Amino acid sequence: MTVMETKSFDQAVAEGFAEKVGGMLDAGAAAAMISLGHRLGLFDTLKGRAPATSPEIAGAAGLAERYVREWLAAMVTAGVVEYEPEGKLYHLPAAHAACLTRDAPLGNLAVYAQHIALFGKMEDRTIRCMETGEGTAYGDYPCFHQIMAEDSGQTVTAGLFDHILPLVPGLDARLREGIDVLDAGCARGSALIAMARRYPASRFTGYDLCADAISFAARAAQAEGLTNVTFETRDLTGYCEPDRWDFVTSFDAVHDQKDPRGLVDGICASLRPGGVYLMQDIGGSAHLENNRDFPMATMLYAASLVHCTPVSIGQGGEGLGTMWGWETAERFLRDAGFSSVERHVLEHDPMNVWFVSRKQG
Ligand SMILES: C[S@@+](CC[C@H](N)C(=O)[O-])C[C@H]1O[C@@H](n2cnc3c(N)ncnc32)[C@H](O)[C@@H]1O
């Protein structure tokens, strides 16, 4: 140790920081246990239930009691579940269920906890990426499209008609009359299917790189008997269908492309005069120093390292990453030649940014 380091070493700061790291370990473990609780339906089992014993809870969930008891202990010490030692009773308060169950009024944060569990599962793969510079494929991240559908089901599809489409004045009337709509990077297609259901006179198309997600979307549309929506497996690298669409959406589907700028350019060229592009992406800044207080910034940078950056690099792209920043997105949109570009942040959803870009009529 150098003299300078010895002099500047502050024992109290070091001990305080060690305590902070201990808290991080506990919070990380709690997040992994919240993921388990979500996947096994345990929060849904506990929701609205009077204080119950672990055999009662395990029985209701159809799970092995010994393991459920251990999970409950982790949730009690994490402050998620309440515990009455006298009767060995466990209880999920309604105020905690409000962000942990499948119909949670505050949005189900347990959906995102699944990423924390998967960061561990992806560790060896990420180490290889970091050692070699290579990328990954979508299939390397287990259950990606299932988790993404749960995520966008609550951030996009649930708010589509009340908050999101109203960002484009006059759109509802045009959709009712009948227009051509593309969702670029539609994955399992729940937003597009919701629009197709509501606007039978319009024609909806979804493109995505991943055949498994597209088959899921096509099956879901078919199950509903929708005839105005089609899904196609398609690599959007170099995308351009001149004057093909009246309205294009992309939900969290630009930054992890091989060529995000090329896709934005291609979407602009593929819109008819007067057409509109509605883009949602992560609302962080391109400048790290601005993201210190951004909601769940550490988790977003981690997801970027483990998934979004390597899937772009795996396609031969530069890997802009999840936190490519609204500044970068806005620059790409302005450079693409839209006649106007508006940026919106929805009050109930500070994590995302929404751009409404119009092509000259
Ligand atoms: C973060 S997911 C978002 C999916 C969907 N829009 C949603 O909100 O659930 C990004 C999507 O972009 C798709 N994607 C990535 N690169 C692509 C490419 N080169 N061509 C077409 N789709 C691509 C992925 O397959 C993935 O489904």
Considering the chain, what is the average pLDDT of its residues?
96
Average of per-residue pLDDT across 290-304: 97
The CATH number assigned to the domain holding 135 equals: 3.40.50.150
- The larger pLDDT score, comparing residue 205 to residue 6, is at 205
Ligand 1 centroid vs 77 CA: distance in angstroms? Answer: 38
> At 17, which CATH number?
1.10.10.10
User: Which atom of ligand 1 has the smallest separation from the CA of 138?
Assistant: 25
169 and 40 in a common domain = no
Residues 130 and 79 in one domain: no
Could you tell me if 135 and 208 lie in one domain?
Answer: yes
Same domain, 13 and 88: yes
Minimum-distance ligand 1 atom for the alpha carbon of 312 = 16
Last residue of a domain, one of 74, 95, 113: 113
Q: What is the pLDDT of residue 141?
A: 93
Reply yes or no on whether the pLDDT at 344 is more than 50.
Answer: yes
Do both 50 and 161 map to the same domain?
no
Q: What is the pLDDT of residue 348?
A: 85
Q: Does residue 151 share a domain with residue 92?
A: no
CA of 185 to the centre of ligand 1 (A): 4
Share of the chain above pLDDT 70, in %: 98
Determine the distance separating the centroid of ligand 1 and the alpha carbon of 79, expressed in angstroms: 36
Residues in Cβ contact with 27 at an 8 Å cutoff, skipping those fewer than 6 apart: none
Point out the domain boundary residue: 96, 113, 130: 113
Which of 113, 135, 164 finishes a domain? Answer: 113
pLDDT digits (tens, 9 = 90+) for 46-88: 999 999 999 999 999 999 999 999 999 999 999 999 999 999 9
What domain range includes position 73? Answer: 3-113
Residue 75's alpha-carbon distances to 46, 79, 114, in angstroms, are: 12, 6, 16
Q: How far is the centre of ligand 1, averaged over its atoms, from the C-alpha of 175 (Å)?
A: 24
153 and 290: one domain?
yes
Question: Separation of 255 CA from ligand 1 center, angstroms?
Answer: 9
pLDDT attached to residue 221 = 98
Looking at the structure, do residues 175 and 324 belong to the same domain, yes or no?
Answer: yes
Same domain, 103 and 130: no
Average confidence (pLDDT) over 254-272: 97
Asked whether residue 250 falls in the same domain as residue 218, the answer is: yes
pLDDT, one tens digit per residue, over 185-201 is: 999 999 999 999 999 99
192 touches ligand 1 (CB under 6 Å): no
Q: Residue 1: is its pLDDT beyond 50? A: no
Q: Are residues 90 and 179 in the same domain?
A: no
- Give the distance (Å) from ligand 1 centre to CA of residue 99: 26
pLDDT of res. 272 = 98
From 140, 204, 249, 252, give the residue whose CB has the most ligand 1 atoms within 8 Å, as the site to mutate: 252
What is the Å distance from ligand 1's center to 237 Cα?
Answer: 12
Name the CA radius of gyration of the chain, rounded. 23
Please give the pLDDT value at position 8: 87
Instruction: Give yes or no: residues 109 and 129 share one domain.
Output: no
Atom of ligand 1 nearest to the CA of 235: 20
* Residue with CA at minimum distance from ligand 1 atom 10: 253
Mind listing the pLDDT tens digit for each residue in 10-35?
Answer: 999 999 999 999 999 999 999 999 99
Q: Is 141 in the pocket of ligand 1 (CB under 6 A)?
A: no
259 lines ligand 1 (CB under 6 A): no
Ligand 1 touching residue 43 (CB < 6 A):
no
Report the domain count for the chain: 2
Q: Average pLDDT, stretch 169-176?
A: 98
- Residue 186 Cα to ligand 1 midpoint, Å, equals 6
pLDDT in tens, 90-143: 999 999 999 999 989 999 999 999 999 999 999 999 999 999 999 999 999 999
Q: Is the pLDDT of residue 346 over 50?
A: yes
- pLDDT tens for 204-256 read 999 999 999 999 999 999 999 999 999 999 999 999 999 999 999 999 999 99
Phi/psi for 314 (5° steps) reads: -65, -25
- The pTM assigned to this predicted structure is 0.94
251 lines ligand 1 (CB under 6 A): yes
